[in-house]
A and B are shown apart, each in its own frame.
Chain A
Amino acid sequence: MIWNETKECMGRDEMTALQSARLVKTVDRVYHNVEFYRKKMQAVGLEPGDIKDIEDLNKLPFTTKADLRDNYPFGLFAVPNNQIVRIHASSGTTGKATVVGYTRKDLDIWSECVARAMTMAGVGRDDIIQIAYGYGLFTGGLGAHAGAEKIGATVVPMSTGNTKKLTTMMKDFGATAIACTPSYLMHIAEVLEEENAIGDIKLKAAICGAEPWTDNMRNTIEAKLGIKAYDIYGLSEIMGPGVACDCQYHRGLHVYEDHFVPEVLDTETLEPLGEDEVGELAFTTITKEGIPLIRYRTRDLTSISRGKCDCGRTLCRLSRFKGRSDDMLIIRGVNVFPSQIEAALLEMSGTTPYYMMIVDRVNNLDTLEVQVELDEKTFSDEMGNLDAYAKKIGHVIQQAIGLAAKITLVEPKSIERSMGKAVHVIDKRKLV
């Protein structure tokens, strides 16, 4: 099944014409409504009239996460606040959140995109779907929810945190689909195995995203649960989940190009690369009203393929993500930058103790340990004081990144120093 055959199977020329028309409109809108873009375009001598079609995209300046931060909270919005009906936010590198706003039309398009992804995964109006992403400022929960409602499925808004309740309802309701992070689904599969309940579930499809995973992980999940699992991609800056999704042929994630124009850039020169060449992914939103972004650099490394897919869709496909061009980590679906930990420690003690983040995956759930070197200023002859210090660090880190971390105090100089750039992360998760 294809949700929107007109758009998803559109001929290339027609798509290019549609993208061109929408890009021209978008550029005109940001030039006149967003000071940031007007100044950026003026700085390189560009006027809206200079952008005539999609071929002109690479004349336009880039947008980065730092730009969103510098214009916190609403500086990049292209409409007055009375047209914004929803705000979402994700953690930024320095404590300040990245804030995005949606108009009613933006929310419609978002649910349309998620509806396409759900349909791609074979989910429809006869299905009962559990949404097990976090609901709230994070785009995962509400984003997946709206798309599932749009296709007419029976939506169970589980959110995260109570696996026991989730598996019970999965059995009792006869849930046929689930949307959650792949690592959480692995965990759910194990809980079901322990309960000896795999035979009692009616699950047939999972739409997983918000963190990187591998074909191997997909195969394991599919085999354990006897289901089909699909990869959904998105980022809040562009919209949320549903920017791209893979079909049953798993030949890359189809991008909803009529709304988001992808480019892959050389990581050194930032020049656009050709088909199947790996570089940094950038998106230009061409229908977004609330916060349209021009050539937004995602930092995700991937490549684009354009050949027609066996599913019949003509939408281009992103290959499996090859990592990131910055140091962002995704832990339990949450974006974490080492600099956030650094800033939290600095704020707490006035100096930055040497620290190391150790990320691992235990029982298919991500774990974060932060080792902090103790110095003579913070050392005490009383155990209670040391425990309190560790607890306080844990608290400020949780405040900063929204994740609980195990804090281990270690001796000075015991964390290995690297010769070049400081290494603050050991990621033991094996994504093979």
Chain B
Amino acid sequence: MFLKQLSVFLENREGRVKDVLKVLKDNDINIVSLSLADSSDYGLLRLIVDYPKKSKEILSENGFTAVLNDVIVVKIAHKAGKLQEVLEVLCECNVNIEYMYALSTGSDDASIVIKASDIEKAAKAIEESSLEIVSKAEIRSM
């Protein structure tokens, strides 16, 4: 029910995001979604890829600081109020969202990547609702 997200530490130097993407591309890793957070001094690149473990190893070998952590990816239909529904479910079970970002999963729907304060609780609440969690297999088929 969780997906592994790959996080990479980046200095605010020209071309560092490009460097990461090149390493992944050269190793045939498909990036399904990414988000970049930054402060004045450094950046944090978060990625959903088809083969996260392999990606992490490759990046470490290439001198990047990368870690894997669990996130939940929830499918949301292209309809008004869908994201609101997800947030309500999480709010009801008292889980905080650390961050989230979107990915496109098809023409009819999108998905949202969520890092929650209590990921077990969050996943359970979503599974018990009418919402749908995206699986590893689905990611690989994208």
Q: Mark A residues whose CB is within 8 Å of B.
A: 374-376, 379-384, 386-387, 390, 408-414
Contact = CB atoms under 8 A, between A and B. Distances in A.
Nearest to A414: B11
Nearest to B10: A411
B15 to A, nearest CB: 13
Prevailing SS type, chain B contact patch:
strand
Contact of A387 (B10, B39, B60, B69): B39
A426 to B, nearest CB: 16
B46 interface: yes
Interface string B1-31: 0000101011100001000000000000000
Interface of B: 5, 7, 9-11, 16, 37, 39, 41-42, 44, 46, 60, 63-67, 69, 98-99, 115
A383 B65 contact: no
A376 B60 CA distance: 9
Given A379-B7, A408-B41, 7 more contacts: A376-B65, A380-B67, A381-B46, A381-B67, A383-B37, A409-B9, A414-B11
Contacts of B67: 376, 379-381
A411 B60 contact: no
Contacts of A384: 98
A221 B88 CA distance: 65
A414 B9 CA distance: 12
Contact of B65 (A375, A382, A390): A375
B37 A409 contact: no
Nearest to B46: A381
Contacts, number: 54
9 contacts: A376-B60, A376-B65, A379-B66, A381-B44, A383-B37, A387-B39, A410-B42, A411-B64, A412-B63
Contacts of B42: 386, 408-410
A108 to B, nearest CB: 51
B10 to A, nearest CB: 7
Contacts of A414: 11
A380 B60 CA distance: 15
B7, B11, B99: residue with the most chain A Cβ atoms closer than 10 Å: B11
Contacts of B64: 411-412
Contacts of B98: 382, 384
A77 B126 CA distance: 72
Given A374-B65, A411-B64, A383 B11 contact: no
A272 B67 CA distance: 58
Nearest to A384: B98
A414 B12 CA distance: 12
Given A381-B44, A381-B46, A386-B42, A374 B115 contact: no
A195 B77 CA distance: 62
Contacts of B66: 376, 379
A429 to B, nearest CB: 22
B7 A381 contact: yes
B100 to A, nearest CB: 12
A375 B64 CA distance: 9
B53 to A, nearest CB: 14
A379, A408, A413: residue with the most chain B Cβ atoms closer than 10 Å: A379
Contact of A386 (B16, B44, B60, B69): B44
Q: Which 8 A-B pairs have the closest CB atoms?
A: A381-B7, A379-B65, A411-B11, A381-B69, A413-B63, A408-B41, A383-B37, A379-B9
Nearest to B44: A383
Contacts of A383: 37, 39, 44, 99
A410 B63 CA distance: 12
B99 A382 contact: yes
B44 to A, nearest CB: 6
Contacts of B65: 374-376, 379, 411-412
B65, B66, B69, B99: residue with the most chain A Cβ atoms closer than 10 Å: B65
Contacts of B9: 374, 379, 386, 409, 411
A383 B9 CA distance: 10
Contacts of A410: 11, 42
Contacts of A381: 5, 7, 44, 46, 67, 69, 115
A411 B43 CA distance: 10
Contacts of B44: 381, 383, 386
B63 A411 contact: yes
